[in-house]
Structure 1
């Protein structure tokens, strides 16, 4: 049974006339009649009662017509879905992100993507950089916004998207509030809150090296995994913290933020995906993300 036979059948069933049906499907009447006879022979039932003046559906033909219409509607929907997916207007993509990406630029990317591709299901997952790289390798996510610092990226490609400096977070009334820009060396002897080394070993070591260049070893009194916890601990008076500049929008009532001068590394966020990853919806998402790219020195 061929799809064209079903279309021929529908034309005859709806026109109730072989001549008009033949014109509708753009073939001559004899081949149309032959196709209908072949269809009846294949399914083993008579679909039409034929007279010299009219064509009528049999009871079996009427039932067959209902099912054929359902099949063709589903087929048309499938074709439309395939075209929408191929055009990046439908489908599903999974994207990972680190917290600073959501603080800085990712909400704008998400908002614009949803405006341009409302038919695409966007699944977001907050993960640290190592977890995202593992998820990319396993195919659990298709792209990730990560903080790269001397990471090995076998089979992946990275594109820098955002770069910002660290700032110092501290409670109001602290002696460093008088500085417009805090020298890194001024943190000597201050209790500090920092993330555990295993989260970003190379970046952690670079921060330690920057402090050493400034003439001190930081007094780390508490480790915190998330920025939210870090800032809450700073507000509680437990210590000071170096956080991405975009964090300054949080807890403005009970925290102060100052830029820091010194050899600290920048906070860099890159978009990472597999080298062979090509999906229309993902490509559209990436094109939008590139519009939010911040280059070195750009505010």
Structure 2
């Protein structure tokens, strides 16, 4: 198969629409159809199931996509790297994070990105919950790792990198602190500390509910101006907070303990991008994030990385 034919196949496998594939690649729809038929004749089997309403990959098509995609991404990166070196080109990439484990992933990705693209540098910064999307919307950042779900005009979501189990951060003297696990119904027995006027609301509403699954009200603890106040107030006995389980590795301190939550949704962390679509360098960086989230460093739990398409420009 020619490289261009592979590109047509992979684009159709992503779009699952002949017209959109042709438009994206700027070729006639007949060219897409011709190439796919030629490939299917070569393999002696269908790669796509077509009806008047839908286009779907066959099992053979899915297998071929999964084999070809990583290889073509490596080829593209190699060609871009060689081109940049030949021109002496370089640039800067600015990325944000909300949690320290997200920062750790960004820093490892930055090192790998620099190895792949000499002349490029990656700058990382923490993003405040007070202004969670402003830096991305203002163009100060080109991508961000943040808590999902996200519903915000001008922001597109990329792949999920981590699906984190949750824990309840409690004062050591609380009667729930000695348990092996707690459940969502137990939240009715302890005030939950909350951040004052925090965004994003969809994330807060999912992970800081007002009622238990059985409808019991969850008491509100004092509001805090920043997340860094919460462990201090928990240690002082003012309430509890729902956190990612791995927060115990980063925020342990005297007076608090972390008890796993055995039910409820996971805390998902994923990539946020400008809605108009990422540049090629940003796409390459997100590919690295995906790979590193699948191959954790020592002591880290692996992230779950679904195969999600990048948003289209």
TM-score normalised to structure 1 length: 0.60
Q: Which structure has more helix as a fraction of its residues? A: 1
> Aligned pairs, how many?
215
Report what 1:295 is aligned to: 304
Residues 81 and 223 (structure 1), Cα distance of their counterparts in 2 relative to 1, 3 Å cut: farther
Residues 121 and 197 (structure 1), Cα distance of their counterparts in 2 relative to 1, 3 Å cut: same
The Cα of 1:159 is off from its aligned counterpart by 1.8
Structure number with greater Rg is: 1
Q: Please tell me the root mean square deviation across aligned C-alpha atoms, in Å.
A: 3.4
CA distance in 1 between counterparts of 2:144 and 2:211 reads 30
Residues 189 and 289 (structure 1), Cα distance of their counterparts in 2 relative to 1, 3 Å cut: same
The Cα of 1:174 is off from its aligned counterpart by 2.5
The Cα of 1:243 is off from its aligned counterpart by 1.0
The Cα of 1:209 is off from its aligned counterpart by 4.5
Query: Are 2:186 and 1:177 aligned?
Result: no
Point out where structure 2 has 5 or more consecutive residues left out of the alignment. 1-80, 295-302, 307-313
Residues 237 and 210 (structure 1), Cα distance of their counterparts in 2 relative to 1, 3 Å cut: closer
Point out where structure 1 has 5 or more consecutive residues left out of the alignment. 1-79
| Alignment deviations for residues 65-111 of structure 1 (CA, whole Å, 9 cap, x no partner) | xxxxxxxxxxxxxxx99833979x83111112112553673343344
Alpha carbons 1:113, 1:285 under 8 Å: kept: yes
CA distance in 2 between counterparts of 1:159 and 1:122 reads 20
Query: Are 2:272 and 1:272 aligned?
Result: yes
CA distance in 1 between counterparts of 2:219 and 2:208 reads 11
Alpha carbons 1:227, 1:243 under 8 Å: kept: no
Counterparts of 1:186-197 in structure 2, within 5 Å, are 186-196=186-196
TM-score normalised to structure 2 length: 0.58
SS of the aligned residue for 1:121 comes to strand
The Cα of 1:279 is off from its aligned counterpart by 3.7
